[in-house]
Amino acid sequence: MKAVFGLYASRLRAVVLLLAGSAVVWSLAAAWFSAHRIIGYGLEMDSYCLSCAIVICGSFVYAYLTPKPCAGVKSAVIIVTTICRLLLVVTSCGHSDGAFMNWKMRQVSSDEWQTMTADLKALGKEIPEFTALNTYSTVEASRLPKSFDNLGNHADFCFFYSGNEPCVIYGSHGAEGRHWGLMIGTEHFRDREHPEVVNRIRVGDNCYFFVDPN
């Protein structure tokens, strides 16, 4: 009976190690999947939390299935490896905005940026401006130009500023979290209290791709 349990315990430990390792690898790759619109922003953020949970729960399961002889040494190894895995996941989450911006710039070609720039200017003239109310234009995601699909999924679309310096924003639907998008000019950057936190790259004629980690 002990031999059978030992065999199953050994296999379960291997599965736990595989899951914990997969959670770390996923956290390193999540920003890539998000930048390529394979997953949405919300799922990317949730996956970091899920990865931490898998690493922590996996360490407890692995410790429980570990044979008792030399438990002290093995427990120390389990604790150290768990901390290292958690650090990798947390670090990946902390640097996800920069990774997302890097992968997005690699994914979208220069011609596609030019097309989005032209479409953004045209949409800014087409939709009424609400400057008097200092608010944003209400526009359905389905009304956005097809070229904007390169920026993000419809589920990640937040809002659109119209006017002479239009801006389309994707990302978190709350005040906190990552926001990214495309804008003409720098007026929106000047309006911010701390504009230096916004990462932006010029991708067209007075047009900028930006990522705001908030």
- b/e sequence 47-84, b meaning 16+ C-beta within 10 Å: bbeebbebbeebbebbbebbeeeeeeeeeeebeeebee
| Measured CA distances, 6 to 59, 64, 67, 73 (Å) | 18, 12, 8, 19
**CA–CA gap between residue 135 and residue 197 (Å, rounded):** 22
36-77 confidence digits (pLDDT tens):
999 999 999 999 999 999 999 998 888 888 776 656 677 788
Rg of the chain over CA atoms, in angstroms? 23
Tokens 């996941």 belong to 89
Nearest to 160 by CA among 194, 198, 122, 202: 122
First to last CA, the chain: 57
- pTM (global) more than 0.75: yes
User: What's the rounded Cα separation, in Å, for the pair 27 and 156?
Assistant: 20
Tell me the C-alpha distance between 98 and 101, whole Å: 5
**Both structure tokens of 153:** 């999924």
The whole-number pLDDT of residue 164 equals 73
Which of 118, 145, 126 minimizes the C-alpha distance to 204?
Answer: 118
Q: Could you read off the pLDDT of 123-175 as tens digits, one per residue?
A: 888 776 554 444 555 677 888 889 999 999 888 998 887 777 788 889 887 76
Delimit the domains of the chain by residue range: 2-100, 108-212
**What is residue 133's predicted lDDT score, i.e. its pLDDT?**
42
| Token digits of residue 129 | 């401006």
C-alpha pair distances (Å), 10 with each of 13, 35, 45, 55: 5, 38, 33, 18
